[in-house]
Structure 1
Amino acid sequence: MIPVPVVVCVVGGWCVLYLTDTLIKSSRSLKNRYETWLSASGVTLSPFHIRWQTGLFNRLFARCARLHPQLLHLWFGAGMVFGVVSMFGSVALLTRTLLQTLSRMSSDTPEGSHEQVLQVVVPGVNLPVGQLAYFFFAILISGVVHEFGHGVAALREQVRLNGFGMFIFVIYPGAFVDLFTTHLNLISPVQQLRIFCAGVWHNFVLGVAALCFLFLLPVFLFPFYYSGVGALVTEVMEDSPASGPRGLFVGDLVWGLEDCAVRGVADWHSCIVQLAHNPQTGYCIPASSLQLTWAAGRAFKRLDGTVECCSNNSLTDICFSYSGNHGSKQFSCLPARRTMEDAPTCHTNADCRAAPSSALCVTPSLENQTRLVRVHHPPEKDMLFLGYPSHLRFSVSLSDFVPRLGFLRLDLPVVMETFCKYLVSLSGALAVVNAVPCFALDGQWMLTSFLDATLTSLLPERSRRELLGFFILLAGSALLAANVALGLWMVTAR
């Protein structure tokens, strides 16, 4: 479900804004000056929608449209080809996404069993509140670049640009260009197609550029940050299993989880998955330090069948199991840190042959899916984590990059990396969605121009082409609406 505080804040904020606008307009002394200011500044306000339009950037658009005419002709020609291909490709992609969603709904497939290319994003539900700034800035930049493509392409085709603007609808920001419709209707269908396809083309280019920057980020940051030596802790959640006096701290460099080496964030995640799926690691301990506790009556079985032999509720002692001389299972309550500190890992007694002659392999006797893990972060002593490995993953934020100079921010590479990921995904999604032949989207005008450019000889009458386009747009709109509705239901019904 969508969090109630998010709904209250959004609805309440818009109600206050609209009520203030209504009160000012109802005031005799302020109404004229207020409406004059709105008209001069290009601001328009309506329920859950605020819009701003200006002509300040018209010269910038015109200057860009005059740069290298031949190069721009090739550029927007390539955009036209991409737009036509993406128009058909978006329909195939949405059809596949819809079938995947229906399959998950009918078979109760686990959410993580397969990834969907397109997903509905709801702030506060499947978008962390702490990353809202990334989301809004990325979608705003994607929208500005999208409309910039339309504006430059239109001026290049001798279509007048009335102005450029931005808006906020509910919580989603966006941008737009206002083109002179009369000029737009006078040019050929191919020219129109170049203009209408320029938006999705520029979104695609922006996504590719952000993706390249993401891959080359280590090269760009090399003079200031180095990588490949571990995972740097940039944030530790309060009251999490990784916090505390003997936990992890911001600035620690994690080198490994048990015997799994960590050279970066990807290794950290793979090691956690490996530890979660593999049996609990054991430790080679001298037999002389083991004290049998099963016979003393202190051990008992848990509901899941595992054994607990430390009945004093100690926060430092853990029950360990091991195989005795005759192969029988025995248990001993031992202090965890002293037992595991610098102890070689093992899985059977045979793995402890290299240890002192009387060493045995002892394994923590824990509940199912629970693990005891040593987190190596020298020069500090190992952190001992007891719990579900997935909790360790979400308790700590890490970075691949270690600053070379003390004044550099630890989280700057993470901020850049996260923003690039949002820019790639949102700019790509904007390209896909706008290319769908759907009412009120770029796909509607792309389809109309495409039909006029290709079917004029087969269907000379414009009314027949419009009728064909209407049915295609109706199907595309239904396909997009079904994806949004089912995707929103799947997200909010968790």
Structure 2
Amino acid sequence: MDITTGFIVIGVIHGVLYFFDNFFKTCAHYPYLKFLEGTGFQISFLSIKWKTKAFNRVIIRWGNSRPRFLHLWFTLGLYASLLLLPVSVLLLLYSFIQNVFVSAEGGVIIEPVVPGVNLPVSELGYYSLTLVLCSIVHELGHALAAVLENVNLIDTGANIFYILPVAYVSLSTEKFSSLNRKNVLKILCAGIWHNLVLTLFAFLLFQALPFIFSSFYHVNKGITIANIAKHSPLLGSKGLSVGDTVYRVNDCDINDENKWYSCLQSLEGPKPAFCIESDVVHSLDESIPLKHLENGNLDCCDKEKSKNICFEYLDSADGVLELPSHACLPGRSVVEKSTNFCSADPHACPNGFYCFRPILANGTNLFKIICEDKNVIYLGLASDIYRTVEVSSYIPNIFFNSTVLPDVVTKFVKYTAVISLGLAIVNVIPFIYMDGQHIADVLGLILLRKRCGKSGARIITVIITWFFTFILVIQCLLTILKVLL
């Protein structure tokens, strides 16, 4: 099932639930109404809400267990969140300017996460689970800070907006509004603070995972092929297989997953050059008179009779052994026999070997993937490898033959750090219906009330909130459109 079909199915399920919910409520169907009342479910258009009082007692006990520590904890959270506010605003403005006025190839700093667009569908489960975890931690911060300030906790629960699960807590607005502004800010910033702490914890855990798993797996000694898509051009008897250990791609050494992707990215640029033995050139050369192609390249192979590749001799001016300036050679054979690369200038090759570079179409490259027990030769795009081959930084040892456990833990921790930081940034920015809106209201009253009056301060904060709401919405829409187009 592709992502579009999945979204349609989820939409149909929401529609069916919404129809029957209205139908049973219109008929005053008592068992159904009793079910909703007992379980705490509420169904609305493209939304399912669940609320309960079951966790109130536990949260109240936690909030009253160590009041002195929690007062210090949430005071630190207040200052940390207020420091994050200008940083987040500047990041948003920078990303907006970058997105609108600059054609940035490196991507923007703040962008929405959209399944099937910039989030692999296969990782939607990680995204959903970490979003639930981060929102629970966020709301727990609000709840504990509220209990500490004697604000009544009404209930807790969760909302599913189409496919996005989000936790929430309901507080007594009457008691909340009677607090002094500093304590109000503590409660408003508590969720952001908890997300920052969770981000730091997940980041440190992510850095420690290679050490933790090093007792059970080989780490920083290459990568393991974890999965290959069925349509991958690398799949086959002469290609890669699940479980292969890869140490190098061309002249780029690989010790972990990050290095694998950085090597592929670097190989999207200049074509690699190979040290080829002179006897191989003379014996396998099938070149014809040079032809100029429409793309500006030269070709020395007869494509109708041969699948060879035209190689350019980079040091042809030396006239060594009268090697031809261009040679039509079988790519797989010469690359397999080549033991060195000579892309850097000067082109250094062992004695008897000389530097040749394949002449290929834009984007296409010649890859020599060096594995533990074989070499894989691939002619194509680096993006094809990137999109269709999943790798792991963990190489199984004699006791473990699967990388599933460390890969799952690593992805979950990585998503937790990213999503939690994203929630902290979005929540602190003045945006309607988010914590930032209420933080801006309180800060506006503190900073502007004496000069502008209460109504003037509220007008200014409303303008600021709507301005940043507009900026953030446009930023998200432009980022999605650029990815789609």
Scaled by the length of structure 2, the TM-score of the pair is 0.89
Aligned residues: 473
**Partner deviation per Cα, 1:411-439 (whole Å, 9 max, x = no partner):** 32222222222222221121122112333
Aligned to 2:237: 245
**Aligned partner letter, 2:294:** L
Alignment of 1:491 with 2:480, yes or no, is: yes
Q: Please give the alpha-carbon distance, in whole angstroms, between the structure 2 residues aligned to 1:478 and 1:52.
A: 33
Alignment of 1:126 with 2:118, yes or no, is: yes
**Partner deviation per Cα, 1:90-113 (whole Å, 9 max, x = no partner):** 333322222222213xxxx1x524
**Aligned partner letter, 1:341:** E
Alignment of 1:393 with 2:386, yes or no, is: yes
Aligned to 1:11: 11
Q: Please give the alpha-carbon distance, in whole angstroms, between the structure 2 residues aligned to 1:16 and 1:89.
A: 44
| TM-fit CA distance, 1:14 | 1.6
Alignment of 1:117-196 (within 5 A): 117-196=109-188
Aligned to 2:328: 332
Q: Please give the alpha-carbon distance, in whole angstroms, between the structure 2 residues aligned to 1:397 and 1:55.
A: 44
Work out which of the residue numbers 470, 480, 483 in structure 1 matches 2:469.
Answer: 480
Work out which of the residue numbers 365, 368, 372 in structure 2 matches 1:378.
Answer: 372
Work out which of the residue numbers 340, 346, 352 in structure 2 matches 1:345.
Answer: 340
Q: Secondary structure at the match of 2:379?
A: strand
Q: How many percent of aligned residue pairs carry the same amino acid?
A: 28
Once the two structures are overlaid, the 10-residue window that deviates more, 3-12 or 226-235, is 3-12
Q: Please give the alpha-carbon distance, in whole angstroms, between the structure 2 residues aligned to 1:134 and 1:162.
A: 30
Would the aligned equivalents of 2:271 and 2:357 in 1 still touch at CA under 8 Å?
no
Q: Secondary structure at the match of 1:227?
A: strand
Aligned to 1:65: 63
| TM-fit CA distance, 1:81 | 1.4
| TM-fit CA distance, 1:53 | 0.7
| TM-fit CA distance, 1:127 | 1.8
Q: CA RMSD in A?
A: 2.8
The change in CA–CA distance for 1:341 and 1:183 in structure 2 (over 3 A counts) is same
Would the aligned equivalents of 2:216 and 2:400 in 1 still touch at CA under 8 Å?
no
Aligned to 1:44: 42
Q: Secondary structure at the match of 1:273?
A: helix
Alignment of 1:82-481 (within 5 A): 82-104=80-102, 109=103, 111-113=104-106, 115-287=107-279, 289-294=282-287, 300-304=291-295, 305-311=297-303, 317-322=308-313, 323=316, 325-326=321-322, 328-334=324-330, 336-347=331-342, 351-352=348-349, 354-355=351-352, 359-379=353-373, 381-407=374-400, 409-453=402-446, 458=450, 464-481=453-470
**Aligned partner letter, 1:474:** I
| TM-fit CA distance, 1:453 | 4.9
| TM-fit CA distance, 1:362 | 4.2
Structure 1: gaps (5+ residues): none
Q: Please give the alpha-carbon distance, in whole angstroms, between the structure 2 residues aligned to 1:440 and 1:65.
A: 25
**Partner deviation per Cα, 1:230-269 (whole Å, 9 max, x = no partner):** 1111111223221111111111110112232212223222
The change in CA–CA distance for 1:87 and 1:268 in structure 2 (over 3 A counts) is closer
Work out which of the residue numbers 9, 32, 35 in structure 2 matches 1:34.
Answer: 32
Q: Please give the alpha-carbon distance, in whole angstroms, between the structure 2 residues aligned to 1:88 and 1:163.
A: 32
Once the two structures are overlaid, the 10-residue window that deviates more, 280-289 or 143-152, is 280-289
| TM-fit CA distance, 1:308 | 4.5
**Aligned partner letter, 2:474:** A
Q: Secondary structure at the match of 1:251?
A: coil
Q: Secondary structure at the match of 1:354?
A: coil
Aligned to 1:54: 52
Structure 2: gaps (5+ residues): none
